[in-house]
C-alpha cells in the first residue's frame, strides 16, 4: 500500500482521514489525519503517526504520553479515500485519559479485552492469579470447569433465574476463554469457524 494509491483529489487539504480501531477489542478509538510523510513514517516505524491540522506538523501518538499505538493492520475503504488503522494501544487513546475519543460504553468489546488478559496470564503465569492456577492444572481441569459452569448456566436458565443465569453465563464465557487459549485458539478463530458455516 502506497500513499499515492489513495484518491484524495476531493479533499481540499489532500489529507487522508484515518479511523483508528483497537485490534483486540474492535473499539473505535479515534479519528485523525495523515499526509504522505505521516503515512510513510507509520509504515516505517509501526507506530501510528498523524498530521496535526491545528499545529501543521507531524505527531506520533504517544510521543508525549507514552500511549503509543502499535500498528497491526491497515485497510483502505472502498473509495480509497479513508484508511482504517487497526492497532494495539499502550494506554488511553484520548487526551482526556479515556480509552476512546468516543463515549461508547466501557463494556464494549470487553470479552476481547478479557481474552487479551487471559493470553497475558498464560505468557507470564503470575503467582496468585486464578487464571495461572487453571493453566497450571492443565486442560483436564480447565475443561472440567467449563463443564461445571455450563451445567450451572443451564440450571439457572431452566429455573428462569435471570440474575443467576447472567452470573453463571459470565463464568462460562471466562472459563471458555481460558480453555480456548489452552487449546491454542482465539475468538477470531471461533468467528472464522462460525462465518464459514453461515449460509
- Ranges in the chain, pLDDT < 70: 12
Statement to judge: residues 68 and 115 lie in one domain: no
Confirm whether 97 is domain-assigned.
Answer: no
pLDDT at 8: 84
**Residue range of the domain that includes 49:** 3-89
**Contact of 130 with 111, CB cutoff 8 Å:** no
pLDDT at 14: 84
Confirm whether 94 is domain-assigned.
Answer: no
**38: CB partners within 8 A, 6+ apart:** 49, 50, 51, 58
Statement to judge: residues 143 and 175 lie in one domain: yes
Confirm whether 102 is domain-assigned.
Answer: no
CA distance linking residue 190 with residue 138, whole number of Å: 21
Amino acid at each position: 500500500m502506497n500513499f499515492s494509491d489513495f484518491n484524495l483529489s476531493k479533499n481540499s487539504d489532500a489529507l487522508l482521514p484515518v479511523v483508528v480501531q483497537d485490534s483486540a477489542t474492535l473499539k473505535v478509538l479515534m479519528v485523525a489525519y495523515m499526509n504522505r510523510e505521516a503515512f510513510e513514517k507509520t509504515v516505517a516505524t509501526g507506530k501510528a503517526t498523524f498530521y496535526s491540522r491545528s499545529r501543521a506538523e507531524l505527531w506520533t501518538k504517544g510521543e508525549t504520553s507514552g500511549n503509543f499505538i502499535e500498528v497491526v493492520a491497515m485497510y483502505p475503504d472502498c473509495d480509497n479515500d479513508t484508511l482504517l488503522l487497526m492497532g494495539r494501544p499502550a494506554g488511553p487513546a484520548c487526551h482526556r485519559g479515556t480509552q476512546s475519543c468516543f463515549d461508547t460504553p466501557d463494556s464494549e468489546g470487553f470479552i476481547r479485552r478479557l481474552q487479551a488478559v487471559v493470553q497475558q496470564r498464560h505468557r507470564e503465569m503470575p503467582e496468585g492469579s486464578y487464571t495461572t492456577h487453571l493453566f497450571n492444572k492443565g486442560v483436564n481441569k480447565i475443561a472440567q470447569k467449563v463443564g461445571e459452569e455450563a451445567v450451572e448456566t443451564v440450571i439457572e436458565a431452566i429455573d428462569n433465574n435471570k440474575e443467576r443465569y447472567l452470573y453463571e453465563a459470565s463464568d462460562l464465557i471466562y472459563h471458555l476463554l481460558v480453555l480456548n487459549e489452552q487449546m491454542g485458539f482465539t475468538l477470531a478463530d471461533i468467528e472464522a469457524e462460525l462465518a464459514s458455516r453461515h449460509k
